Amino acid sequence: MHRRKFIQNMALLSLMSPFIKLNASTNKKIVVVGAGIIGASIAYELSNLGIKTILIDKYKAGSGTSGSSFNWINATYPKKPYSYNYIAQLGLKAFKDIQNDLNYDIQWNGSLEWANSKESQKELIDEVNKLMRYQTFTKHKIINHNKANILESNLNFRDNINIVHSEDDGVIDTNEFIKLLIDRINFNGSQVIEECEYKNIKYTNNTISSIITSKGEIAANQIVFACGIDTNKIFNKKLLKSPEPGIIIKSKPHKKIINKIIYGPGIHLYQQKDGRVIIGEQGLLERNDINKFSDYPSQFDSKLMENKYVNKIISIGKTFFNEIESLDINEVKIGWRPIPLDEKPIIGRLNYDKNIYIATMHSGITLGPIVGKLVAKELTQNKELSILDGFRPGRFL
C-alpha cells in the first residue's frame, strides 16, 4: 500500500475507535507518557518491534525541553563517570543508524571549544585528558588558532594554542527529528495523542489496567514515564534538581558563516542546514530574574528582559565572532534542563512495580535514540541490561 494512503487509513481507523479500545486487543499494552525526544524515541523503537504503543503528551509533541534545546550530539567532557560517557558514545552510533532508517540528514560537523581565562582553559584541557584515559572515547584533537582558522575563517581565536576539536559531534533540528519519529510511529500502526495529560494509574486486582488521562481512560499494562522536568510532580518525590534554564536564540536563515559547533567563551552556536544560526549561553540568566519566572515558561514575558539578555549574548559573541551582529534574530526561547539529583540518567523499572518504567535525563538529545533502543529491549524482552545498571531509579525511589 502507498505509504501516505496507509497513514491516512491509520488516522481514520484511530478516529473511529472508542478510546478505551485503542490498546485493548494486544497482550502488551504500553503507554509512553511524554512526547519529547526520549518518549518519542522509545515509542518509535517499540512500534518498530511491532508493539502497539500509545504515546501521549499533555501539550504538543516536542513542546517541552526538547523543543528548546541546543541540539548538540556529543560524548565529550564532562560526561562522567565512564558509564555515562560510554552510553553517550553509543548515542552517536545510534543516531547514525536512525538517520538511515528515517532518511534524516544529520550534520556531523564536529565542534571547537576553547576558553578565555587561563584557569578555564586549564580546566578544559584537564577534562579532555581525563576523557582520553577512558577505555573508549570519541575523537579529539588539540589544535592551535591557525588550524582553527582554517576550519572557521570568521572566528577570532586570538593566539590560543589549545582549542579542542571534537571531530565526531553533530547537531539535529530536534523538532524536525521528533516529527519524523512520530510519522513513523503512526505509520507502524501505533498512536500519538497530543493534549492528553496523564493523571493517574488505575489498578485492577493489584495490577495496572489503565491510565486515567484528561481525554479519558487508556488501557495499559506497562507505563513508561518520559516526562522530563515533570518527573518530580508525577512521582511526588524529588528525583530531579530544580530545572536549570538556558536561553536559546534562533536567527533567520543567513548566508553560510559557520561550519562547526562552536563552544566559545560565554556562548555557543552553530548554523542549521537551512542557514539559521542557533545560539546558546552559559549560565547568563541571573538568579533574581529566574526567581521572577513562574511555571517554567518557554519565553520571556517581558520584552525588556528578553532584550537585556539578547544584547548580553550578542556582546559576548562579538568578542570572537563579529558577524553575530549581522544576524536577524527571529526567536528567543527559554529551555529548562531536567537534571537528576546526581546528574546521571534515570532509566529503568521501579522496584515497587516492575510495570512502571522511568526515563529522564539531561543530554537527552544525544541519548534519545540509544535510550529508545535499550528501553524497548528491556520492555519487550523482560530484561535488565547491565549497561544501564548505574542509572536505575532504585537509587531514588
> Which residues contribute to the site for ligand FAD (CB under 6 A)?
33-39, 56-59, 63-66, 68-72, 197-198, 226-230, 246, 248, 280, 335-338, 360-366
Which residue, judged by CB position, is nearest to ligand FAD in the bound state? 36
* Beta carbon of residue 104, minimum distance to ligand FAD (angstroms, whole number): 16
* Beta carbon of residue 309, minimum distance to ligand FAD (angstroms, whole number): 13
User: Would you say 241 and 340 are in contact if contact means Cβ atoms under 8 Å apart?
Assistant: yes
Angle at 119 between CA 337 and CA 361, to 5 degrees: 15
Closest CB to ligand FAD among 42 and 257? Answer: 42
Residue in the structure block whose three cell numbers are 560510554: 86
Distance CA 112, CA 271 (A): 14
Closest CB to ligand FAD among 156 and 197? Answer: 197
User: Which amino acid, 168?
Assistant: D
> What angle separates helix 37-48 from helix 364-381, to the nearest 10 degrees?
40
* Beta carbon of residue 9, minimum distance to ligand FAD (angstroms, whole number): 27
* Beta carbon of residue 369, minimum distance to ligand FAD (angstroms, whole number): 11
Neighbours of 239 (CB within 10 A): 19
* Beta carbon of residue 159, minimum distance to ligand FAD (angstroms, whole number): 28
Mark residue 382 as left, alpha or beta (left: phi above 0; alpha: psi -120 to 50; beta: remaining): left
Closest CB to ligand FAD among 12 and 38? Answer: 38
Closest CB to ligand FAD among 161 and 314? Answer: 314
User: Would you say 300 and 199 are in contact if contact means Cβ atoms under 8 Å apart?
Assistant: no
* Beta carbon of residue 73, minimum distance to ligand FAD (angstroms, whole number): 6
Give the C-alpha distances (Å, rounded to integers) separating 302 from 21, 248, 292, 308, 332: 46, 16, 11, 10, 12
Closest CB to ligand FAD among 51 and 278? Answer: 278
Closest CB to ligand FAD among 243 and 265? Answer: 243
Closest CB to ligand FAD among 155 and 248? Answer: 248
Closest CB to ligand FAD among 2 and 97? Answer: 97
Instruction: Write down how long the chain is.
Output: 397
* Beta carbon of residue 57, minimum distance to ligand FAD (angstroms, whole number): 5
* Beta carbon of residue 385, minimum distance to ligand FAD (angstroms, whole number): 19
User: Would you say 54 and 33 are in contact if contact means Cβ atoms under 8 Å apart?
Assistant: no
Distance CA 382, CA 146 (A): 54
- Within 8 A by CB and 6+ apart from 291, the residues are none
Give the C-alpha distances (Å, rounded to integers) separating 189 from 6, 25, 43: 9, 13, 11
